[in-house]
Amino acid sequence: MKNLRTKIAAVAIAVVALIAAPAAANAYTPSSPTGTVTITPGGTSTVQFGGFEDEEPIVFTLTGENGAGGTLSSVRFVVNSTSITKAADEDGDASVAVTLPANASGSYSLAAVGQSSGASAAVTIDSGVAAGSGTALPATGFDTASMTGIWVGGGVLLMGGIAVTVIALMRRRQTA
């Protein structure tokens, strides 16, 4: 009976530990703007995040099509995404000014990650321009109209080859 009570107590402690551990890990739940933030290409907007630890370093990362062309507070990088680290204020709030590149299109993701708490929040930024919405496809091949002379010349050579072959066959039959 005493052995059974010990096992029940051990199971109860394990269950409490399993429930309490995730609750402690989620002590800081950052907040981000709800929905989608819209910034026009080349435009700037400040995005506010909250709920981080006091004065915690926060890494903001902007990722998207030509994300390297965007800036986060006046810092510019030459990669597909750009990042900046800023400290949260005494209330755990942090903000970043986001400037999209002039040729921005599609959606971007702005993530904020607390460096000491590990807490994270993200928001989607829409450029207001559909991805790949250019007026025409870029010229990546050759223009068939400029190849007309080559096609005509090739056709003349082919016809000349056929004519020589026919004449040669006709001479052989006459001499045979």
pLDDT tens digit sequence for 65-107? 665 556 555 444 333 677 888 888 888 888 888 888 777 777 7
How many CB atoms lie under 10 A from the CB of residue 122?
Answer: 14
Q: 38 in a domain, yes or no? A: yes
Q: 13 in a domain, yes or no? A: no
Give the sheet arrangement for strand 44-49, strand by strand.
44-49, 94-99, 71-72
* pLDDT, greater one: 147 or 19: 147
Q: 34 in a domain, yes or no? A: yes
Q: What is the pLDDT of residue 57?
A: 87
Q: 8 in a domain, yes or no? A: no
pLDDT tens digit sequence for 135-147? 555 566 666 677 7
Grade residue 133 by pLDDT with cuts at 50, 70 and 90.
Answer: low
d(CA 34, CA 30): 12
Q: 92 in a domain, yes or no? A: yes
The tally of domains found in the chain comes to: 1
Cα torsion angle, 17, 23, 25, 27, sign: negative
Q: 159 in a domain, yes or no? A: no
User: For position 82, which CATH number holds?
Assistant: 2.60.40.10
Q: What is the pLDDT of residue 34?
A: 64
pLDDT tens digit sequence for 147-173? 788 888 899 999 999 999 999 999 888
Neighbouring residues of 57: CB distance < 8 A, sequence distance ≥ 6 = 85, 86, 87, 88, 114, 115, 116
Q: 65 in a domain, yes or no? A: yes
pLDDT score of 12 more than 60 = yes
Q: What is the pLDDT of residue 75?
A: 44
Q: What is the mean pLDDT of residues 125-142?
A: 64
Q: 89 in a domain, yes or no? A: yes
Q: Which domain holds residue 78?
A: 29-126
